[in-house]
Chain A
């Protein structure tokens, strides 16, 4: 009986040896999709673009919810809309431009991806940088002289994005942010006359199904008394598009206005927001 058992063991080991051993080709594969898109509610993420791809994003934020159904919860109030195109010059570096309706601001920006989180945690976080330069092109000809000249209308922003996918479901990003207005004229749609704004962006994603996630954004201000930005929403992936719907306390859609534009009280002063992200491939 013992011998039969021995034979059985021998046979099973030989049998399993006969099959090829399953081995991963590389252990330090980069982590996929820490976030669904290069955008997460209003903030940039560590998601890189591949070389020769184009990221097209349309973002909208509508009026406040507090007027209720009469204004279709703010949708009648007209939206701040931002269009942006970002081009992947390499797998680590991308450049783009955008235009936001609020104050008719045009901006150019760049993102650089320094580190990418790997699955085996050899690199535990992804780290990226973003900088932009923006110009307010609103028409102020109704103002008496001296009107803001081009130089006065410039503003800059930068941020470091540090993100980690903690599990298949949960990802988190920390983004220290800075914005600078050359001449923060009270006519601009910002709430103070400070030049410098510091804040800490916090972005969270919790996957609820294969193709959708709950999203959260909180941006505490660090050097002023403005209210902090809060956003909650949902990301939905639909075959190549990423739709992002959210409630947020600010109508601003670029970094400098997000930090300087002030925020409503969460709840009644929430605004409905809606982003569409699409990646185009320019190869071939």
Chain B
């Protein structure tokens, strides 16, 4: 009896916490850039279809991009990337889910404030998931209804079982520099 009552009370409160004004920010048009710096050729793959979510209440950072939308400026290279390297038909998404380090409870950030954060989580591309710690900055606009997020990190293709051609003409760097820039709007 006692347990039962406590249970419903707890569940109720738990559900209530979701309906309170959420510190939840989202976008579907962030920018992401993959820079490949190989000895003989340097190029970037870009997409402006990055989806992102930062939920301060639950301390969740969640980003993904459909790799089919990444363009390098050369159609054939895009097709090789999709068909041979990323294999977007099987593994369409590059994704990262993690939490901001050093915060136990809900995260407070006041309008106009900018904070440096370290986000630890899992990065997945080509179907292979790796733990990753990513530094970044989060800036809240003066109105308090938007977040600007910027980050840069490196991904080793070998970590995700993406083979690079070893014959003659190197065009793809093993280490890809990933830059990410997005404006997330409050939901």
Contact = CB atoms under 8 A, between A and B. Distances in A.
A29 B89 CA distance: 10
Nearest to A14: B18
Contacts of B75: 50, 53, 91
Nearest to A25: B66
Contacts, number: 83
A22 interface: yes
A10 B18 CA distance: 13
A29 B95 CA distance: 20
B79 A32 contact: yes
Interface in A200-223: 210-211
B148 interface: no
Interface stretch (B56-64, B108-116, B130-138): B56-64
Contacts of A195: none
Interface string A215-241: 000000000000000000000111111
Contacts of B170: 239
A152 to B, nearest CB: 40
Contacts of B26: 20
A86 to B, nearest CB: 13
Interface string A46-65: 00001001000000000000
B167 A239 contact: yes
Contacts of A281: 73-74
Nearest to A33: B83
Contacts of B58: 18
B11 A238 contact: no
Interface residues of chain A: helix, strand, loop or mixed (majority): loop
Interface residues of chain B: helix, strand, loop or mixed (majority): mixed
Contacts of A50: 74-76
Interface in B75-118: 75-77, 79-80, 82-85, 89, 92-93, 95, 97
Given A20-B53, A240-B169, A240-B171, A210 B163 contact: yes
A237 B166 CA distance: 11
Contact of A20 (B64, B83, B84): B64
B115 to A, nearest CB: 22
Nearest to B167: A238
B153 interface: no
A281 B69 CA distance: 20
Contact of A26 (B68, B84, B85, B89): B68
B171 A279 contact: no
A32 B171 contact: no
Given A18-B58, A18-B60, A24-B68, A239 B4 contact: no
A210 B84 CA distance: 5
A240 B75 CA distance: 11
Chain A to chain B: the 4 pairs with minimum beta-carbon distance, closest first: A50-B75, A239-B169, A239-B171, A238-B167
20 contacts: A3-B4, A7-B11, A18-B55, A18-B62, A19-B97, A20-B62, A22-B93, A23-B51, A23-B66, A24-B68, A239-B168, A239-B170, A239-B171, A240-B76, A240-B80, A241-B168, A241-B169, A279-B74, A281-B74, A283-B73
